[in-house]
Structure 1
């Protein structure tokens, strides 16, 4: 484990880091966003939706899970603006909320495969 054994502090770097943190009022919300993505099932749902919208039945079948467990995760993703939905008759289709979500997922996958 790395341990800082120095007793001097670079005040310029510390002040700059503090100002960076202060300038990001949405830091906690962003951390929550990544925590939501950190759940394996939710990440799989988002990944299958990279290809386009799907209904609960299609997602459940793809992931070999129950409709109720998928619906629960979809609710969390929708409430946190990761996904959006549209209704066509009795069927509800889910898709990624915007290109930012898609880009974040693709960047994460690319980083892991690098």
Structure 2
């Protein structure tokens, strides 16, 4: 029994590491390390260079969006109609907030 418990803990750690790496790479950590590390501003007003601060902001936007999508997923599994409506509204609201923040970041960069 303890063999399966330790295997599931290892699988959880590997899965968490994979998700963190996916978020970091999809938010542009390589560009931030190679080109944006020498900049002193939080958001560079160009689309070709990304700063570490922008990478952190984009990672946060991705996490907010995933949280909203998770709420939408859980709404489909909820039993009560009231709970389903609340989860759907909250999920769509959180996704809308993530999109709005993302578009505001793009607007600042342009």
State the TM-score, normalized to the length of structure 1: 0.29
Bigger Rg, structure 1 or 2: 1
- Between Structure 1 and Structure 2, the one with more strand by share is 1
TM-score (norm 2): 0.30
